[in-house]
Each structure stands twice: as structure tokens, then as C-alpha cells.
Structure 1
Amino acid sequence: MRTIDYFDKMAKTYPDRDVLVAGETRYTYREMEALTHKVAGALRAAGMENQEPIAVMSPNDGSVLTAMLGCWRAGAVWIPVNTRNALDANIAYLNYVRVAMIFYHSSYAKEAAEIKSQVPTVRHMVCLDKPEGGHASLDDFMATAPSDHFPDLGDPIGNPEELTALIATGGTTGPAKGVRVMNRSWGAMLETICNIMPVEGKPVSLATAPLTHAAGPVTMAALAMGATVVVLPTFDAEAVMKAIEEHKVTHMFLPPTALYSMLGHPKVKDYDYSSLKYFLLAGSPVAGEKLKQAVEVFGPCMCQSYGQTEFHLVATWLSPEVVAAAAKGDHPERLTSCGQATYSVRVELMDDDGNLLPVGEVGEIVGRGGIVGGGYFELPEASAEATAHGWHHTGDVGKRDEHGFFYIVDRKKDMIVSGGFNVFSAEVEDAVMELAEVAECAVIGVPHEKWGEQVTAMVVKRAGAEIDADAIIAHAKARIGSVKAPKDVHFIDAIPRTPVGKMDKKKLREPFWGGAGRSVN
């Protein structure tokens, strides 16, 4: 089905339930449904055609949800703009997908004007929160709708091959590729999330990560289960902890870095988290010791999923029950697993020749099933490469145990070859992160005359903590052996990150590799 079909089901089931709480703004499902009809009608009155791309550029704000749902009711293709990207990169991407219209927040007025001047396909702009720069506010724009009801554009099978979105990949090299997110694959993702994260009574979902990134699909899944969505403008550790208690939050998504910030907050144990049923971590691997600590603080609600933009979010699932058991000592190794394959997909490991690998062997994680998108927008060669041998290729390296639990050991490009041995940086990072004095760690390979590449740890100390390089190296040797342990440690103030929050190891490698033209030996 289409996203708007999932929403409409809940609007009929719970018309008077709050769908949105954002500061002083509150809407019921009935009220939001009416607003989306007006947005869709205004879009068509402005000349928008079916399946045209419409961008949303905003910090977290309640109006973002209204605009997104209105676009989907009108049959538009959602283009989320990552405001942490460089403006030039966003302009290049919007030109690539030929965006036709932009909803923007006034806090990005300068960027919006620059985009309008450099993206010739943009025909219309709407400022979400107020009239700005000659553009109507969202309220004024909705007033141009010719009626209060927009016709239903759905077909009997839910428009499966139409696009829901064109979402930019978050890679660290080269221009972003637009992933073709189909109604069929997005719908499979929403249904999977609803099935693995059920709750009795009224679900309440907290959105503090950007709605224009991973929090967007999680929020849409929350709407598909009839949740009230509480939107915070940005991540603030104490504000999140306070909101959980105040709103009796049941579902929440955050990246691991945000979890670490909460665990390190002096007031983390001052709030009531008993309402939490699912504290979902996704986007990057989580250090096992930190996950165990999180169970102790937040209770048996911690869970993880693994996926990517092309393989939507929930390819594997590590349930709260499994995490809680592992934290108590039942299969403790599962604290570093990303879980088992979800019901509607197959997940396997593959070698470079296209052969599927047995239990225990390390290979590329590949998958097939309903949550695989439709390839890359107007990039047939890249799409074919990503689906070679009849499977979607993630580019992630992993292994699987006899119980079907998957363990990510690295990105292929992050593999360090030292003295002829393959060292997966994620395994080294996990060992270093066991130390209480370490807040963050990124492991890279740096050139070495004898070994080819030397395993090197870039470490951020926890505030007020004292630890030296020798202690870190000794701990890692004891945990994972001398070959894999870092041979050098650099203490830095912060790990650089890409606009989507991933460790930017390319930037970390640059000072060591210089003009070598490559970062592997």
C-alpha cells in the first residue's frame, strides 16, 4: 500500500487520538487527515503532477509531518534534504533528481534562496512556518486548495511500483545516488516494523532524530500502528529523558552516538523510563558493553535493527528479549550482533565469486525480499552492480552463527590488511570501547613500511577520565590478540562524521595517507 493508506486506516480507527505533539502544536488523526487533503489539493492546484519530486528541508518541526503526508496523498515523491550536508552537495542532488517543489523552514531561508537560483526545475516554494521571501506559508498555501477533499489516487493493489521517495545514499565518497524507494518496499518495511514492535494500548513514538533522515520511516511506521508522535526540535540528552517520562513514550529511535551521550549524562538515572518498550538503535554498530549498560539504565527495551537506504532499515532484528537475556549472561556475544533476518527477507553471506557461504565464514552481507528498493535513480550500471548474482549487495562484511544471528565485522573498504592478516576495524573498536574511560573510538589503517598497514585507534576520552595509549593497547591485546590490537593510539577531541552521522574514516585517514592516491596497502 501507499503510506497515506496506512495513515488513513488509523485515522478511521482512532480519529480523536492525538497524532502529533510538537511544542504547543497538537493535532488529532482527524485533524491531520483534513490538513493532508488541503496540502494535496493545493499541490495539484499549483500544477504538481503525479510522481513529481518534492523536497522537504527543515529542522524537526510538526509542519514537516503535515507536508510529508500531504505530498504522499497527492502522489508526490518525497525528497528528504539532509540539512547537515554541504549546500553544494544538496544542490547537486536536487538537480540530479530534478526536484519540482520545495517545502522549507524559515531557518533555512538563505539556503532555500540559493537552491531556487541554482536548481532550474524548481517551480514552486512554500515556507513551512511563515510567509518568507515572497513565498506563502504552509497555512496560506493550504488555503489555495479548491476543496476540503482530495480524490483518492490509489489502485486496488496499492500502487506498488510507484515511488514513495528518492533518498540519497550516505556514502563517504563520490556524489550521492538516489535510492528508488517504492511503495511496495516501503510498505513492506512499515509492516515489518509494526509486526516486530507491537505494544498493547496506545503507542507513543518520540522523534528527536531528524524526520528528514532515519527518523522519517520510523515515524511513518509509528503512524501505521496508530501512535502519537512527539516531535522534539533537536537531540538533547536531558530533553529526551524528560520527554520519555512526561509523554509515557513507548517507541524511540536514536543512533548509537546519541545513546552514548545519554548514558554519560549526570542525570540519566533521574527519570522514569518504565513506559519504554522499544529503544531502537540503528545506523551503525553498537559497542556491546554500552548496550549492556543501556539495559541496566533504560530497562529491557533496548533493541537493534540492521539495514540501509537500499535495504530498508529492518533486514535484521535484535529483539529486546534477546538483548536483555544477553545482558544477563545468556549468550552475551549477542550484544554485538545485529540480529536475525526479519520474516519477509532472506539474508545471506556471499564471497567475491557469488557463492553463498556457510555458518561461521566471513563474507559480504547480501539480501533479497520485500524491503529491497528499486535500484538507483537513472543509474542502471550501479543498480546492476548492486544486484549482481540475484542478490542485493550491502557492501558490509559479516558472519553468521549457528542460530542465525548476524555479526557485522566491517565495511569492505574499512578492512585493514596488516602483515597479510585481515583486521576488521569494528572488532577492534568494540574491544577498545569496553574501557570505561573511552567515549568513542574509530580504528583505521595507516601506512607502514613493514606491515603495509598499521592498526591505529583514534580515541575520544570520556570527560574527566585519564587513560594512556599503553593501557588501551594492552587491553585490546588481551581481548582480541596482538595482530588485531592497535599498534598506535591517537587521542582526539571528536570523531569527524559524515552528514548522516557515520564515522568519516576518509577524513581520519587523510593526514596519514597524504597524496598517496589510495588509503590501502
Structure 2
Amino acid sequence: MNISSFLPSVANVHGDKPAVSLGTKRLHTYRAFSDRVTGLAGALRGELRLSVGDRVGLAMTNTPQYLEILVACWHAGLCVVPMNSKLHPKEFSYILDHAGVKICFVTENLTEGVSESLGTVDGFKQVICVNDDEYETLIKHAPINKVDVSATDPAWIFYTSGTTGRPKGATLTHQTLLAMTLRYYADIDQPSPEDNYFHTAPMSHADGLYALPHLIKASHHIVPESGGFDVAEIFGLLETYKNATFMAAPTMLTRMTNHPKASEARSENIKTIYYGGAPMYLEDTKRAIATFGPCFVQIFGQGESPNTGTSLSKELHADYDNPKYEKRLSSVGLPRTGVEVRIVDEEDNEVPTGEIGEIVLKSDVVMAGYWNDPEATSRTIRNGWLHTGDVGFLDEDGFLTLKDRSKDMIISGGTNIYPREIEEVLLMDSRLEEVSVIGRPEADWGEEVVAFVVLREGASITTEELENLCLNNIARFKRPKEYFFVDQLPKSNYGKILKTELRKHFHLKNS
């Protein structure tokens, strides 16, 4: 099977439907999109001389060409290696080398950084800028038919952030992508040709993967002109497009809710906002629902099990009268269709309901393994179970609640402290925009709790007020020993708060 098999039927049935737009500017119908894909696939196998299974790098910001390159590579029997556009040239070089990438498509701003690897990475032979005339020449190549590949052939390799050493390439097969797509239809949403999918999150991550179920159903794909998540721009697009679906990290949703024009946004034109990538705090979720309505779906997963672990449906977001509503809204929902979820201790023994442990998953959406890294694969997938590194618990109804990443847990005096619990308490005060709690080295206790705080514009608060808020809601040993007021928190390309960067502050300070 080949995951691009949908293309001919979509082009035949929905050929005149819009496929891709840049902001409000229409670019291609599905018939034209299909022609561009099959032409580029022909160039990849012909002029560029790539063979079935070869890896193709994508070092690109969000751009309309991203979609056609993804599908063209699959159509040609190739495997894509999407890379975070904010990587350093040396990080690009490592991935290009480790994955054995032959050619790499880039946006103009990344041409120089990626080109540094030409001549230094064995087998890496060409950088193609999608903004150049050369790219459009490739598109006009004679088309080819879909190349037959095995269901277990690699289709997508995404390199993890490397918080515990070098990044590792989570390998997803054609079969994995199909299973992910079917779970999307079962648990998240039913796209249609009338839907408009906004590419507001990085297409190198979950946003690009979730383009697939929308392409198969002939939805209209809109790439914002900014190439990313700009709240005012999203509100502007909602003036033009109905039935809008897009993805947002929790920090992005908070920015939407707090925007001065949030109350004026055409929220009736939003069909679905799915969010994930980090815990969403209860008060932030409630404010978002109050502002935009119950159009939300929360997803929990990771690159190794793409977007597919648990989900909290729109119906559960709107189940206001349920006595367990707030408890469930604080969770990441129920296991997805065909996904098993367990909580285990350090010896991989399942723990009783309500007890905290590591979250492990089993399903056909789990990666095949880490590319060229059997040791890391065997550490992460044991007895068929994917060990996520996330800590949480299952309640009596099967809802999963995240406590933290195991690496983010603070151990003070031998006691486990979960930063999210403290962050939830601090965010009860509406003057706080964002909070991140970490542990810093402490001679007697091992670690102690500190908090980084971003205030809303024009707001002020004292350390004493924050101290009292904690003392009134959590045990004394959990309260932060120091507060740092900052203008902003470091974030990843996807909007996830980078606690590793906050920790570096103390490593440098104490070195």
C-alpha cells in the first residue's frame, strides 16, 4: 500500500474544489494539486534519480509547497524527514547525516544553513529552494503513477527534540499513517470538502501529519501568510472562511483567549480546534470554552505515537452538568479507538487505579522504531508497550490525567513534586499570563521549587500574594522558594514551554 493512493480519486471527484490557498489567495484546485504532485514525483524519480526508500529532507517554514512535497515523496515511494525550521545548521547536519538524506527541500530563509552540509555529509547531494524557479521546473516534469511500496516501508521520520541526548528518528510507516488517519476520523473529527484547515502550527510536526486526513477528504488547506500562528491573522481568516479547523498548543490558545479582540472573533466559523503537546491548565481551558464555545478536542500523543494516545472530545468539553466535569476537563481524556493505555511502576508492573506512574501505550499507531538506533528502540518499546516518559494516572472511569514528564518531576528531600500541580494553583490568579515551575539544585534537599511568572499586560502582583495563594491551596513543601518575573518564557517552534532552557539558567549560575 501507499498512503498517497487517495490522490487520483480526490482529483477526479473533487477536481474543481480548492485545495490550497495562501491566506485568502486561492492557489490550486485539487486537480491542479494532483498534477503538481505527480509531476514533482516524476522529477524525484527521474531527474533527481532517487530510488524507492530514499530519504528526502524538509527544512521549511509553513508554506503551500509543503503539502505537495509530502504527497509527492510518498507517491514516488520515498520517505520524508521533516525538520524543525528553528534548528541550528549543526543540528540540521546531524539529522541529514543520521537519516541518510539525499536531497533537502528548503524555504529561502534556511538555504544557507542547510547548504553548509553539502560536501560534509556523505551522500547528501542537493538543496532545492521552493522559492526558486528551479522548483517550478521540477513540478512541470512528466508525471508518474503511484509507486507500489510495502505497508511497512518508512514514510515519515521525525527527529525528537533530544532532551536526553542526541535526537532520535521516530519512524512512521505507510501503515502507521493510515492507522493514524482512521483514528482521526473515529475520535477527532469528520472532515469534508466544505472544511477549511488552517496550518497555524508547524507543518514539520503534528500539523503536517494531520493534513493527511483532511487531504483525503478534499478539505481546503489555508497556509497563513505569516507562515505561523498570529492571533490577529487567524481572527481575520475567520472573517473569510467557515468550518475552520486548526491546531494550537495550549500557550497559543491562551494567547487567543487573552487577545483584546477575542470577543469579536467569528467563533461561529470555528468547527474544531484541537490542542495538545503540553498540559492545558483548567482555568485556561474554561476561559477558552467561555470565549469560543465547546469547539475543542484535546489530544495526547507524541512523535513516537503520532497524535494518538488519548483524546478529550468536544462532547466532553461541553458536558457542563456532569458532576465530574472539572475533573475530566483537567484530564487528557479517554484512550483512542484501538489504543491500550496502562500506568506502570519502575519495574513495568501495572499500578492500581488512581496511582501515579509512567504512561505506556500499545496500538498499531506506535512507531516502527527509532531510525538506525535499535538500542533506543528496545529501551522505549518493551514487550510491545511504548514507554512515553510521561507521568500520570487513570481514574475509575478510564480518564487519563497527566502529572508531568518524568524528567520534569522535582524530587525534594526524597519526595516527588509535580510542577503542573503548582502551576495550576498559580494560574488561579487571573493576573498571571503564563507560569513555569522547575526544580533547581539545592545542597540539602537535592532540589527546590522555583517559579517563572509572566504577568498580563498592565498587571502587578507581589511575591507575598503568590505565596499566600500557594499556602491556601497546596502543601507547604510544594510552594516555590523563589519567583522570577520575566517578560516571556522560552518556547519551542510549536509553542511548548522549554523548561530545559529555564534549567540552564541555574546550571550556569551554579557552575
TM-score normalised to structure 1 length:
0.92
Aligned counterpart, 2:22: 22
- Alpha-carbon distance in 1 for matches of 2:2, 2:432: 45
- Map 1:6-155; keep pairs closer than 5 Å: 6-23=6-23, 24-45=25-46, 46-131=48-133, 136=134, 138-143=135-140, 145=141, 147-148=142-143, 150-154=144-148
User: Which amino acid counterpart does residue 227 of structure 1 have in structure 2?
Assistant: S
CA contact (8 A) 1:245 1:273 kept: no
CA distance in 2, matches of 1:329, 1:2: 46
Q: Separation in 2 of the partners of 1:201 and 1:90?
A: 36
8 Å Cα contact 1:302-1:324 kept in structure 2: no
Please say if 1:280 is aligned against 2:274.
Answer: yes
CA distance in 2, matches of 1:397, 1:475: 25
What is the CA distance between 1:450 and its match in structure 2?
3.9
Aligned-pair identity in percent equals 29
Q: Which amino acid aligns with 2:50?
A: M
CA contact under 8 A between 1:289 and 1:434: conserved in structure 2?
yes
Mapped partners of 2:439, 2:421: distance in 1: 13
Aligned partners of 2:492 and 2:269: how far apart in 1? Answer: 33
Q: 1:122 to 1:334 in 2, by over 3 A?
A: same
Cα deviation code 1:234-270 (max 9, x no counterpart): 2211101121231114311111111111112111111
Say if 2:179 is the partner of 1:188.
yes
Aligned-residue RMSD, C-alpha:
2.0
Residue deviations 1:482-510 (CA, integer Å, cap 9, x gap): 23222321112221234554322222123
CA distance in 2, matches of 1:77, 1:340: 32
Contact 2:193 2:219 in 1 (8 A): no
SS in 2 for 1:497: coil
- Per-residue Cα deviation, 1:92-133 (whole angstroms, up to 9, x for no partner): 1111111101111223232233232433322233221223xx
CA distance in 2, matches of 1:103, 1:166: 15
Q: Residue 427 of structure 1 aligns with which residue? A: 421
Q: Say whether the 8 Å CA contact 1:305–1:338 is kept in structure 2.
A: yes
Question: Aligned pair in 2 of structure 1 residues 12, 478: CA closer, same or farther (>3 Å)?
Answer: farther
Distance 1:8 1:426 in 2: 47
Aligned pair in 2 of structure 1 residues 327, 464: CA closer, same or farther (>3 Å)? farther
CA-CA distance at 1:42 after TM superposition: 0.7
Tell me whether 1:385 sits opposite 2:352 in the alignment. no
One-letter identity of the residue aligned with 1:180: T
Paired residue type of 2:136: D
Match of 2:170 in 1: 179
Equivalent residue, structure 1, for 2:254: 260
Deviation, 1:327, is 8.9
Deviation at residue 314 of structure 1 after TM alignment: 1.9
Partners of 2:192 and 2:214 within 8 A in 1:
no
Distance (whole Å) between structure 2 residues aligned to residue 405 and residue 328 of structure 1: 14
CA–CA distance in 2 between the matches of 1:198 and 1:74? 28
Residues 324 and 37 (structure 1), Cα distance of their counterparts in 2 relative to 1, 3 Å cut: same
How many residue pairs were aligned? 506
Distance 2:492 2:291 in 1: 29
- How far off its partner does 1:199 sit? 5.2
Q: In structure 2, what is the Cα distance between the partners aligned to 1:400 and 1:260? A: 26
- Tell whether the 8 Å contact from 2:206 to 2:306 is kept in structure 1 after alignment: no
Are positions 1:212 and 2:213 aligned together?
no
What secondary structure is seen at the aligned counterpart in 2 of 1:489? strand
- 1:329 Cα deviation after fit: 6.5
* Distance of 1:347 and 1:9 partners within structure 2: 36
Q: CA separation in 2, counterparts of 1:327 and 1:200? A: 31
Contact kept? 2:202, 2:494, Cα under 8 Å: no
Partner of 2:232: 238
Give the Cα separation in 2 of the matches to 1:66 and 1:412. Answer: 38
TM-score by length of 2: 0.94
Structure-2 separation of matches of 1:60 and 1:431 = 36
Q: Give the conservation status (yes or no) of the 8 Å contact 1:194–1:224.
A: no
**Counterparts of 2:469 and 2:137 in 1: how far apart (Å)?**
61
1-structure distance, mates of 2:274, 2:448: 35
Q: How does 1:293-372 map to 2 (within 5 A)?
A: 293-326=287-320, 330-372=324-366
Give 2:86's aligned amino acid. R
Give SS of 1:181's match.
Answer: strand
Aligned residue identity for 1:346:
E
2: distance between equivalents of 1:226 and 1:327? 37
| 8 Å contact kept, 1:243–1:249 | no
Partner residue, 2:475 = 481
Task: State yes or no: 1:396 paired with 2:390.
Answer: yes
* SS in structure 1 at match of 2:278: coil
User: Which moved further from structure 2: 193-202 or 454-463?
Assistant: 193-202
Structure 1, residues 467-493: CA drift from partner, whole Å, max 9, x if none?
Answer: 112212221232233232223211122
d(CA) in 1 for partners of 2:325, 2:280 = 16
**How far 1:201 moved relative to its partner?**
6.8
Contact 2:249–2:496 (Cα < 8 Å) also in 1: no
